[in-house]
Structures are given as C-alpha cells and as structure tokens.
C-alpha cells in the first residue's frame, strides 16, 4: 500500500447550515492485489469522518497488519465507526483491484445483471441570496438538470422560503426540488417549512431536524413531502432509523460509511424496507466520486443522486471518467473503477505526502 497526501481547493466556498467548506484534504491510497493495482481515496469531512491524523494512523496500521498481502487483516484494522474515510480509501482500492482482476466495471462486480451507461444526478444550489439562488438554479436547468437540491437553514425560514418560491417560479413545475436543511431547524420551524414545501411541490426535505431527533423525524413523515436522513446516519444505525420509521429516503455517503461496498449493501437493505436510497459524495476527488457513481449504477431505478460535484473543485486528482452531462453522470465501463492510477497528476498532490 502507498499513501499520498493531497489538498484540493474548492472553486468557491460551499456554504451550508453546518458551515463553509473551502478545501478537501485527504489521502490517495494505492494497493496491489491479484496482480492489479487498485486505487482508493480517503477524504476527510468534519462532523462525518475522522481527523486527518487519525485517518493516516489507521491506514498505516492497516499497512503494517497487511504486510505480505493479507488484505483481510488490513481491513480488520479499519473500523468504519472509528475511521470511515480510512476504511473507504483502502476498501475502494481493494474493490478496484478485485474488479479489474475479474474484468468487470465495479458496478457490475456488485451486481452482474446490471447494464447501464449513466445514472441521474441532481444539481446542488448552495445558500445564497434570492437573486443568486435563482440564477444558479436556472443555469442548472439550462445545463440539463431536472432535479435541484437547494440548501436551506443558514437563513431565517421566511428568507429561505422566499428563495425557494422564487426558484419554483423560475424553473417551472417539471423540475424536481429537494431541500437540505442540514439539521438546522427545530420541530416547530420544520413543521412550518413542510406546510409551505407542500405548496411548492418539494419532493423531500433532507435532514430537517437535528441528527439525533428520530421521533421528530418520524412525526414529520406521512405527508406529501418526504423526509430524508443524512447526518442522522452519523448518529444512528440504519436499523435504528428503520425501527423508528424516521425516513422516506436515506442519503448514503460512501466516504462516511466506510466504503462503496458498505454503501451498496445499505442501499439494497433500504429498498427492502421501502426506503429510497440516494448516493452522494462528500465533495470528493475523482477517485471517490467515481466509486460513488458505481454504487449508484448498481442500484436499479436509482433516483437522482448527489454526484455532480466535480465542478465544485478548482483542481482534481486526475481526469474524470464519469463526467456529468444533461443531468446524468457517465458510468465507466472499463474494469474496476475506470480510473487509471497512472493518470493521477502528482502536481495536484501535496508534495509533503510520502509513501509510508
């Protein structure tokens, strides 16, 4: 296993109710397995994953435990509850190598019956003033997106609802609108928001209440506006969410769940519970982003997913084999992820990174 540090600046800071994101820092992981070199990515996000130092320490423990090619021992050093990004990085590299060795694109390695060359994606409209929000939404629709996720919760509810009314008026009735409050509302505010969201034909509100409030989320369900959980999955298991009947939709971030395989397993489990899975990135580099595309591609009839995040980065780790066009992400058909480790540009990596 080799590790290289990187830091990818965002094109502009992404404002959310949980704070502003202006760079993505992580570790590129390469691992030789079954005669193939697999590549993975561990990209850290505060509130979702471990710290950078914990991530690197976890991967170095895995390197030591897996000396000689014992990948099972390496994985045992990476607990998804403690170091999800580190586990994602190694698990992705391992899956990439396995799928390469078997001659299958990763999504077909998950489900050999699947055949698809693209998956639907939503555009993300960040928090901004009313005019800017409308402009960004209109630009996304002009680019072919028919599903928009609008960030709310950083402003007063009245200001946010004014923004969303303006977006609906601007984009028309044929565009799906989703809202993402990042847990910023209390129960009273959320109830008011859902009443107005119904009149605006909002499909669902993502994390309308704080992550720990399962009973409040369950109380919001049952109407025409769905409830999606995101941050809740960092606080509670999927089983607890299902038991509480707290979600119509689960937002699955492979980086925060410990790897693409875990995300796919949870997506299929959600379907069994009649809860819809939506796969999203944590604004990752090209390796993790492409892995998430494969997870989405392995889900039959998947809803638009949060995978159109490449344009948020001012620099990336290498060429994008899953570009977004007309509201869809292309699904690579080459074996493995479809990311050639030789194309990953060292110039985008922190020169302080090294092979342990």
Q: Count other Cβ atoms within 10 Å, centred on residue 13.
A: 14
Closest alpha carbon to 181 in 15, 13, 16, 14: 16
What gap in Å lies between CA 297 and CA 306, rounded to an integer? 13
Report residue 12's pLDDT band, with 50, 70 and 90 as the boundaries: confident
In whole angstroms, what is the distance from residue 226 CA to residue 205 CA?
A: 6
The reported pLDDT for the residue numbered 348 is 64
Of 335, 298, 289, 261, the C-alpha closest to 35 is 335
264: which 2 tokens? 């796919």
CA distance 87 to 85: 5
Mean pLDDT, rounded, for 131-139: 97
What's the pLDDT at 39?
A: 97
Catalytic residue status for 149? no
Q: Identify any residues that bridge with 229 across adjacent strands, giving them in sequence order.
A: 250
Residues in the chain: 356
In this prediction the pTM is 0.94
Please answer whether residues 242 and 236 qualify as being in contact, where contact means their C-beta atoms are separated by less than 8 angstroms. Answer: no
Q: What is the DSSP string of 235-257?
A: HS-HHHHHHHT--SEEEE-HHHH
Beta-bridge mates of residue 178: 149, 204
Reference 80, options 228, 237, 232; nearest CA is 237
CB neighbours of 224 closer than 8 A, spacing ≥ 6?
198
Angle between helices 260-272 and 84-102 (to 10 degrees): 90
Structure tokens at 123: 């555009």
Q: How does pLDDT run across 244-300, given as a tens digit for each residue? A: 999 999 999 999 999 999 999 999 999 999 999 999 999 999 999 999 999 999 999
pLDDT reading at 242 higher than 90:
yes
Among 24, 236, 253, 289, the one annotated catalytic: 253
151 is catalytic: yes
pLDDT tens column, 201-216: 999 999 999 999 999 9
Task: Check 4, 100, 151, 264 and give the catalytic one.
Answer: 151
Structural domains of the chain, with CATH: 2-109 (3.30.390.10), 113-330 (3.20.20.120)
């Amino acid at each position: 296993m080799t590790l290289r540090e990187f830091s990818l600046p965002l094109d502009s800071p992404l404002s959310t109710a949980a704070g502003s994101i202006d760079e993505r820092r992580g570790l590129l992981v390469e691992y030789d397995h079954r005669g193939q070199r697999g590549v993975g990515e561990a990209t850290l996000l505060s509130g979702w994953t471990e710290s950078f130092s914990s991530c690197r320490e976890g991967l170095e423990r895995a390197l030591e435990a897996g000396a000689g090619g014992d990948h099972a021992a390496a994985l045992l050093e990476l607990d998804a509850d403690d170091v999800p990004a580190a586990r994602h990085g190694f698990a992705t590299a391992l899956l990439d190598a396995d799928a390469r060795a078997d001659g299958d694109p990763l999504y077909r390695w998950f489900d050999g019956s699947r055949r698809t060359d693209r998956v639907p994606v939503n555009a993300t409209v960040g928090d901004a003033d009313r005019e800017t929000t409308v402009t960004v939404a209109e630009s996304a629709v002009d680019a072919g997106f028919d599903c928009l996720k609008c960030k709310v919760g950083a402003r007063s509810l009245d200001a946010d609802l004014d923004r969303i009314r303006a977006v609906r008026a601007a984009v028309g009735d044929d565009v799906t609108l989703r809202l993402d409050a990042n847990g910023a509302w209390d129960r009273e505010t959320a109830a008011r928001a859902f009443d107005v969201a119904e009149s605006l034909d909002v499909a669902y509100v993502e994390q309308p209440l704080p992550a720990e409030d399962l009973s409040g989320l369950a109380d919001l369900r049952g109407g025409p506006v769905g409830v999606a959980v995101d941050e809740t999955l960092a606080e509670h298991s999927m089983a607890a969410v299902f038991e509480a009947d707290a979600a119509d939709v689960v937002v699955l971030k492979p980086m925060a769940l410990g790897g693409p395989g875990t995300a796919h397993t949870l997506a299929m489990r959600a379907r069994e519970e009649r809860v819809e899975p939506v796969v999203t990135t944590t604004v990752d580099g090209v390796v993790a982003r492409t892995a998430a595309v494969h997870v989405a591609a392995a889900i039959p009839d998947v809803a638009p997913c949060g995978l159109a995040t490449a344009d948020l980065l001012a620099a990336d780790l290498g060429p994008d084999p899953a570009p977004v066009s007309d509201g869809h992400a292309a699904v690579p058909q080459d074996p493995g992820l479809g990311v050639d480790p030789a194309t990953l540009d060292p110039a985008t990596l922190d020169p302080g990174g090294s092979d342990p």
